[in-house]
Amino acid sequence: MNRTPAQLMSLISSITPKLIRHASASLHSIKARKVAVLGASGGIGQPLSLLLKLSPMISNLSLYDIQHAKGVGADVSHIETRVKVKAYVGNDELADALKGMDLVLIPAGVPRKPGMTRDDLFITNATIVADLVSACAKNCPRAIIAIITNPVNSTVPIASAIMKAYNVYDEKKIIGVTTLDGLRAATFVAEAKGLDSTRVFVPVIGGHSGNTIIPLLSQISPPVPFSQPELDSLTYRIQNAGTEVVEAKAGAGSATLSMAHAGARFSFSILDALNGKAGTIECGYIASPVTEFKYFATPLLLGRNGVEKSIGVGNLSEYETKLIEKAKHELNAHIEKGIDFAKQYLSKSK
Ligand SMILES: NC(=O)C1=CN([C@@H]2O[C@H](COP(=O)(O)OP(=O)(O)OC[C@H]3O[C@@H](n4cnc5c(N)ncnc54)[C@H](O)[C@@H]3O)[C@@H](O)[C@H]2O)C=CC1
Ligand SMILES: O=C([O-])CC(=O)C(=O)O
């Protein structure tokens, strides 16, 4: 049926108030939260801030860096969403950046260059994370802290030790972001098996470096059989995907865009769960209540207070049990290195 412009206008104005009422009803059922990005001017920080600015689950976005954050903040703030953006630069502005935050994302620190391991970043990034988490302990002790900065295997134990020293530790609220490992696993498996990658879920457990990244291809959803050569090549690719990007970038850093997407997805799951959405699950690296390791990534059930519980590692195949065995020494060494560093850091800062 052909309508005149006037008829169309009349139709639109009769429908629009209903749409607006519907949209605002669903938006009112969520409480918009305050989120900070520490390291907001970086390769990850900038696209992550952009993606967060698009979310109706966020009321305030606090962008902090030691450089350039005012420019990033001005730029992102022009996007026509409701999220209020404020930028903070330098240590003097850090406390204000953190006050009242519900979720703090930390991608601050140096990335790898070809030939480096994530552990090679420890010397610089351990202090950066310790300083930033100390500021969180003082200014937003109840916030969920999501750590992206490598080496995640060590920076999460450091963050936990700092929060403990300030008597504000809550194991539900400190999470190492390993989401990218799961997204890569889903992508590579879908490519290899001709599946829709958006419908594939691969639990990835362990840590976030080389051998410590353990994809559970026996527990993939939907279930798919793999030959031994497929298991070997997919496991190798998932464990070395970060290095694949570092080498392709040839000295210009590591994964930033895929990590920003992974960080945003992780954040939205956290915010969904804070708002009471049941059954929200993401993998993450936490103080482990369910394994022999002090810290370990597993699928996590998220809830109103952060991590509700670890779902555990499920029924492992013989192949996966061997992968854990192979990761043991490296993962434990990374954890202890973080714990030892935190002791020294705290003894110096007293
Ligand atoms: N968890 C994961 O899956 C992944 C982790 N990463 C890690 O994320 C980190 C950041 O990577 P990129 O964004 O590519 O690096 P980048 O160098 O592009 O950005 C880092 C930003 O941190 C800032 N920064 C440095 N010290 C700071 C401090 N004390 N306070 C606040 N900001 C500070 C820098 O000014 C810079 O803007 C690296 O450690 C990298 O290894 C990267 C990809 C994936
Ligand atoms: O590989 C790196 O250095 C960055 C990282 O953690 C990843 O891409 O998984």
Q: State pLDDT tens for residues 90-138.
A: 999 999 999 999 999 999 999 999 999 999 999 999 999 999 999 999 9
Indicate whether this model's pTM tops 0.90: yes
Active site residues: 208
Please state, in angstroms and rounded to a whole number, the distance separating the CA atoms of residues 298 and 286: 8
Q: State the average pLDDT for the chain.
A: 93
The first and second tokens of residue 109, run together, are 């620190």
Judged by average pLDDT, the poorest of 8-17, 177-186, 224-233, 273-282 is: 8-17
| Cα Rg, the chain, nearest whole Å | 21
Does 163 show up as a binding residue in the annotation?
A: no
Burial tier of 84 (Cβ tally within 10 Å: 0-12, 13-18, 19+): middle
Please state, in angstroms and rounded to a whole number, the distance separating the CA atoms of residues 267 and 261: 10
pLDDT of residue 223: 97
> Per this entry, what is the length of the chain?
350
Please state, in angstroms and rounded to a whole number, the distance separating the CA atoms of residues 159 and 123: 15
Q: Is the pLDDT reported for residue 28 higher than 70?
A: no
Burial tier of 60 (Cβ tally within 10 Å: 0-12, 13-18, 19+): middle
Residue with tokens 């606090």: 62
Class of domain 5-177: alpha beta
pLDDT of residue 289: 83
Task: Please give the number of the atom of ligand 1 that sits closest to the Cα of 128.
Answer: 29
Distance 149 CA to ligand 2 centre (A): 9
* Ligand with the closest atom to the CA of 72: 1
**Closest CA to ligand 1's atom 40:** 111
Does 314 show up as a binding residue in the annotation?
A: no
- Is any ligand 1 atom within 6 A of the Cβ of residue 124? no
User: What CATH architecture applies to the domain 179-254+280-332?
Assistant: Alpha-Beta Complex (3.90)
Task: Please give the number of the atom of ligand 2 that sits closest to the Cα of 209.
Answer: 6
- Residues of the chain within CATH 3.40.50.720 domain(s) are 5-177
Helix intervals (H) in 250-294: 257-274
- Residues of the chain within CATH 3.90.110.10 domain(s) are 179-254+280-332
Spatial neighbors of 165 by CB under 8 A, at least 6 apart, are 137, 342, 346
Compute, in degrees rounded to 10, the torsion defined by CA atoms 45, 215, 217, 321: -170
- Is any ligand 1 atom within 6 A of the Cβ of residue 119? no
Q: In degrees rounded to 5, what are phi and psi of residue 284? A: -165, 160
- Is any ligand 1 atom within 6 A of the Cβ of residue 107? yes
- Is any ligand 1 atom within 6 A of the Cβ of residue 152? yes
Distance 230 CA to ligand 2 centre (A): 23
